[in-house]
Amino acid sequence: MKQAAFQIVLPAIGASSNRGAMGWCNISLIETGDRTILFDTGSNDDRPELLAELARMGVDVKDIDAVFLSHFHYDHCCNIEVFEDADIYVSARELEYVLSGEFKTYGDPYIPYGMIRYYEQRFIPFADGEELFPGLRTLALPGHTPGVSGLILEESRVVLTGDSVKNAYDYTHGIPPYAIYDAEKGLESYTRIPPVADTIVPGHGRPFSVREGRISYVGEQKPVDMMIFPNLEHLDALEERACHRIIL
């Protein structure tokens, strides 16, 4: 059996503003030899680039056998409708969190509730520690939300964590993920990772490993081209539209 391997389809961007977080998460492709699995789908505005990048990788939408959702925040789940033929997996706890309305008691503003209710029958719930496919096992990592979960590639000791780990810095400095649910549980979830994985694919940062307290990033960073267009009088007279361009 071929060893499961992951590739980043769209890289995460760690950015925020006084208008809120800029929700761009890692979207990853896992190939096992007989299955192609997408880990998280990104938000609606990711869709054109997601489809274009999959095509560049030689992957058609119909090639995706399964979608694994780390949790139900909009920036991770809003493109499920694209993958009409795929099985969609999410933790039973996360499903309960949303469908019961529990998310409202935490004031969680990031749940696309109407969309989730619409696709309710498509979700396949899983439990902590369940082997979804040979060599791929789920890992409950509550904190950010009650049901946020990772997926372990057991043979290669890789874990994709969603937002239970935001980035390498927070993880190595004991800073809990932004927690809608419980920050202390988020820190406890960090301790579940080293026994099962050496490489971490976080929700909003580069994949990394930690050895002797030092961060080593894994793989090349796909460039992200950002342009910000200021509305300032002294720039409006220029012949070309002025912008601040950042390539990450």
Give the count of beta carbons closer than 10 Å to the beta carbon of residue 114: 8
In the prediction, which pLDDT does 67 show? 98
Q: Specify whether the CB–CB gap between 48 and 131 falls below 8 A.
A: no
Please determine, for residue 110, whether its predicted confidence score (pLDDT) is greater than 70.
Answer: yes
> Which among 35, 50, 125, 110 is positioned nearest to 80, based on CA atoms?
50
Under DSSP, the state recorded for 175 is: P
Determine the 3-state secondary structure of 135 from DSSP.
coil
pLDDT at 225: 80
Per-residue pLDDT at 29:
98
Query: Tokens 């990031």 sit at which residue?
Result: 110
Mean pLDDT along residues 115-127:
98
Q: What is the pLDDT of residue 244?
A: 66
**68 closest CA partner among 37, 42, 100, 46:** 37
pLDDT band at 247 (very low <50, low <70, confident <90, very high): low
pLDDT of residue 234: 66
Q: What does the alpha-carbon distance between residue 178 and residue 122 come to, in Å, rounded to a whole number?
A: 28
52-74 confidence digits (pLDDT tens): 999 999 999 999 999 999 999 99
pLDDT score of 21 more than 90: no
Q: pLDDT band at 20, cuts 50/70/90?
A: confident
pLDDT at 237 over 80: no
The token pair that represents 244 in the structure block: 């601040």
**Do 77 and 163 contact (CB within 8 A), yes or no?**
no
* 151, two tokens: 């997926």
User: Residue 20 contacts by C-beta under 8 Å, 6 or more apart in sequence?
Assistant: none
CA distance 223 to 229: 20
Q: What is the DSSP letter of 3?
A: P
Instruction: Name residue 235's amino acid.
Output: L
Lay out the sheet containing 27-31: strands in order across.
5-10, 27-31, 36-39, 66-68, 87-91, 123-126
Q: What is the pLDDT of residues 131-174, one digit of tens each?
A: 999 999 999 999 999 999 999 999 999 999 999 999 999 999 99
**Residues 31-44: pLDDT tens digits?**
998 999 999 999 99
Under CATH, which number does the domain 5-220 receive?
3.60.15.10
pLDDT at 243 over 90: no
Above pLDDT 70, what percent of the chain?
Answer: 94
Distance CA 200, CA 111 (A): 25
pLDDT digits over 202-230, tens only?
999 999 999 988 999 998 877 778 777 77
Task: Answer whether residue 27 shows pLDDT above 70.
Answer: yes
> Alpha helices, DSSP H only, in the chain?
47-56, 74-77, 92-99, 102-105, 113-118, 168-172, 183-190, 233-236
pLDDT at position 196, please? 98
> Do 14 and 161 contact (CB within 8 A), yes or no?
no
The confidence score (pLDDT) of residue 241 equals 64
